[in-house]
Chain A
Amino acid sequence: MKTGRGPFYLLVTLLLITGSLLTAYRYAMFDVPWMPGEKRQIWSVEAQVDFIALGEPVKVSLAIPDSQPGFERVGERTASPGYGLAFVENNENNHGRRAEWSIREAQGRQTLYYQVEMLVDPDAAGAETAVEPPISRVRLDGPHATVVNLILERARERSADPYTLTRELIHEFNRQSQSASLLTQMKPRGAWLVDMLHMAGIPAREVQALNLEDGRRRQQVVNLLQVFEGENYQLFDMHSGKPGKQTNQLLWEYYSAPLLDIVGGRNSRLSFSMIEQEVPVNRMLEEGTFPAAQNLLDFSIHSLPLSEQALFKGILLIPVGVLIVSLLRIIVGVRTSGTFMPVLIAMAFIQTSLLTGLVGFILIVAAGLMIRSYLSRLNLLLVARISAVIISVIIMIAAFSVLSYQLGLTEGLKITFFPMIILAWTIERMSILWEEEGPKEVLTQGGGSLMVALFAYLVMSNDVVRHLTFNFLGLQFLFMALVLLIGNYTGYRLLELRRFQPMLGERA
């Protein structure tokens, strides 16, 4: 206490200075604004092609998107060491834009990257996507023809225009499950829907789109139905019949061409990562065109591949959560079960969305406590008992997922984001607490943890906080300094005011 404080304050000061300088430098040199919002939203989407080359010449052709309603393409780049690259533009054939890589000889595992920057722009026209497909003649025979005609007839009765007809067709498909399964034995639902729309004289096609969600990795395209009416089109989900929204769905392939074509390779896999970036408006105006994201944000995290950046977006929030837990425990005096469990729960809440997360957490812990109280009667050794709790937590999660999916609550699937081992330990601790100190203590500590988790979640999911932590790495040094300072706090905790209340009461 009396010695060795000097170096401590020096360290804290150094951290504070480093942090502030880095942050200020980043603000001044790269023009990154303090606040989100006064900026344009840009989606960076990275397609990753993995395959195994067979030692022959390799040709890879990947469908790539162009400007379209809602999005304007402002930049693209590729990473493909040793490969020759050509962008084949739309007008050369009728296959839309494609990236074509080629190499004379390649052997073994290969990875190619294509990244595109899409500016969110509600006014973007992008006539390219609105090109109607030619209406094909559909020839049918036997039972299929009867069924198709029946479905089409029914749907037509209930509809007024191409869009309502599409919706009714999909509903009819869902309703007449027997006829539907007869049809889908021959070809998939999407193909039938396109055929039926063509029979009704309506231009339509299947397209492949990405659902844009910030910070997602290893995503796949989804198939949507694109239905035209004159100049305009609408997208439909082929199972629910709901019209798609264009703000968070990016059309990736919309020329009825294959998504990925590989000659000279096998076991190919295509996956997508995406993150949302905010770019200042004034900056874009100044330069006339949008500068490549690399130049603009070329600093630390931003030079990493997109999928790693997406990962870091979450990781960089952890210090904020940890800071909050330290604050609440040391300055306020909240008791939690498991020191940093609340941060992990908050992270899970971010993935699952708050309500689902809360309901899921409470359900799992409550059910876990019941199972655990049964296990305690079986006279098991501790390690085996915790293992049993872990397994039952996993079974429960699986059961909840299946059940909620069956009930049509796809939200329920997100329950898998919970850290299961941690949950199992929480359950074990709480049940001991219950046996030793009664349900009240369980509520205090469980409630305390949940409250801290909630608070951490609110801060960590705040737009400003997310923006700041992701864009200003220097802040991490400031967090570090703060945590060190808090660790040195010898003052009273807020809750001690209440604890020692009886001492303040009467004495003169």
Chain B
Amino acid sequence: MAWHRLMRLLPFRRLSEQGVLGMNRRNISYISSYNPRELYPLVDDKLKTKRLALHHGVTTPELLGVIEYQHDVTRVGTLVEGLDNFCIKPAKGSGGKGILVVSRVEDGVFYRSNGQELSLRDLKRHVSNILAGLFSLSGSPDVAVFEALIEADDSLRDYSFEGVPDVRIIVFRGFPVMAMMRLSCAVSHGKANLHQGAVGVGIDIASGAAVRAVQRNKLVLSHPDTGKDLQSLRIPQWPTLLDLSCACADMTGLGYLGVDLVLDRRRGPMLLELNARPGLTIQLANGAGLLPRLRRIEAFTQVPQMTIAQRVAYVRKHFASVDAQRNSPPQFVPEKCSG
């Protein structure tokens, strides 16, 4: 197309050489080309995602309850009674909006992960805001989902501040193409959403080791709150996570998908949420553009025939990061790398 030629002339040339995927191309060439609209509700509505996952045997955080109508808001009290910790979120929220993580309950006072105290009244108000659609994409009415608290795996504890870290994997036509771990910090209020200020750590697809880290689009070396060196990060059970991400993509039928996984200390890897419009910062965190990898997968014609194991093996071989291998000994040595 003509745009391609234009892109080479302008200062965009270096971006194009790096294979950086831009917003417009993501929207036109990937999201709207590979994601059928009728499948969006499956991922835009967290309850539907949960049901789908249940049906396919994918683990998700335990569902404690749902509040659908304003007159049920009085039920909040009974719902959270006896719970030590929980999380309230809008089913159709995005970007971490409207997520309330209660990590401790004492004498009827609810403590958020950053120590902020809330009363039952505050919780009810939050729920009725959710129901009115304050946090949903188009302001349409929503439901409030109560979920069990996820507690981060011990090996990841020090990498995250006041919140669970999650792993974002971009899965394209069933192939995991790029991964990133998102670490919450003080500015992100215990939420691992990048534009709330969370740290994004690029993860080598082959080994699960850190590549490099960014916060608010700038490179960082250590966690701003815990001071932990981010280069030493290494995700446990990495192959399982890759398998899980493929399984999640397969169950939705979406071609270009962001899969958010968490590692719970008791229940192991599980699905947090799916995203049909995954962001682009993952490229910054990995120091690599998505385009070469996406093009490589686009060249395939026989995708459906490959099993999950075959696909995972393929990406671990071809999408290994040069940076990560230099910095830390890999668990898995690919025979050949291409960048």
Chain A residues close to B by CB (< 8 Å) = 1, 330, 333, 379, 381-383, 432, 436-437, 488-493, 496-497, 499-500, 502-504, 507
Contacts and interface: CB of A to CB of B under 8 A. Distances in A.
A154 to B, nearest CB: 64
B32 to A, nearest CB: 8
Contacts of B121: 379
Interface in B146-187: none
The 7 closest A-B pairs by CB, nearest first: A382-B132, A490-B25, A492-B22, A1-B33, A492-B12, A491-B3, A491-B7
Given A379-B125, A492-B7, A502-B217, A507 B18 contact: yes
Interface of B: 1, 3, 6-7, 11-12, 14-16, 18, 20, 22-25, 28-29, 33, 70, 97, 121, 125, 128-129, 132-134, 195-196, 214, 217-219, 283-284, 287-289
Given A381-B132, A503-B283, A491 B18 contact: no
B134 A503 contact: no
Contacts of A500: 15, 18, 20, 283-284
Contact of A490 (B15, B29, B125): B29
A499 B25 CA distance: 16
A489 B24 contact: yes
Contact of A497 (B12, B70, B196, B219): B12
A507 B12 CA distance: 16
A330 B24 contact: yes
B219 A502 contact: yes
Given A492-B24, A493-B23, A503-B283, 17 more contacts: A1-B33, A381-B128, A432-B134, A489-B3, A490-B1, A490-B25, A491-B7, A491-B12, A491-B25, A492-B22, A493-B24, A496-B23, A497-B11, A500-B15, A502-B214, A503-B287, A503-B288
Q: A379, A381, A383, A491 — which one has the most chain B CB atoms within 10 A of its CB?
A: A491
A382 B134 contact: yes
Contacts of B97: 436
B287 to A, nearest CB: 6
Contact of B15 (A382, A488, A496): A496
A4 B32 CA distance: 13
A491 B10 CA distance: 10
Contacts, number: 81
A502 B195 CA distance: 17
A257 B25 CA distance: 70
Contacts of B125: 379
B22 A502 contact: no
B1 A503 contact: no
Contacts of A383: 132
Nearest to A384: B132
A436 B96 CA distance: 9
Contact of A1 (B11, B24, B28, B217): B28
A106 B266 CA distance: 89
A502 B212 CA distance: 11
A3 to B, nearest CB: 10
Nearest to A428: B134
A490 B32 CA distance: 12
B34 to A, nearest CB: 9
Given A432-B134, A507-B18, A502 B218 contact: yes
A9 to B, nearest CB: 10
Contact of A504 (B7, B18, B70): B18
A1 B255 CA distance: 14
B3 A503 contact: no
A1 B18 contact: no
B196 A488 contact: no
A493 B23 CA distance: 7
A327 B121 CA distance: 46
B6 A491 contact: yes
A330 B25 CA distance: 11
14 contacts: A330-B24, A379-B121, A382-B128, A382-B132, A490-B22, A491-B22, A497-B15, A499-B284, A500-B18, A500-B283, A502-B218, A503-B287, A504-B14, A504-B18
A379 B126 CA distance: 9
A142 B12 CA distance: 88
A496 B22 contact: yes
A488 B29 CA distance: 10
A504 B15 contact: yes
B86 to A, nearest CB: 20
A214 B242 CA distance: 66
A191 B336 CA distance: 100
A1 B11 CA distance: 26
A67 to B, nearest CB: 57
Contacts of A1: 28-29, 33
A222 B74 CA distance: 62
Contacts of B14: 504
A230 to B, nearest CB: 69
A383 B141 CA distance: 11
A499 B20 CA distance: 11
A383 B140 CA distance: 11
Contacts of A379: 121, 125
A489 B22 CA distance: 11
A6 to B, nearest CB: 13
A499 B288 CA distance: 14
Contacts of B284: 499-500, 502-503
A464 to B, nearest CB: 27
A343 B69 CA distance: 36
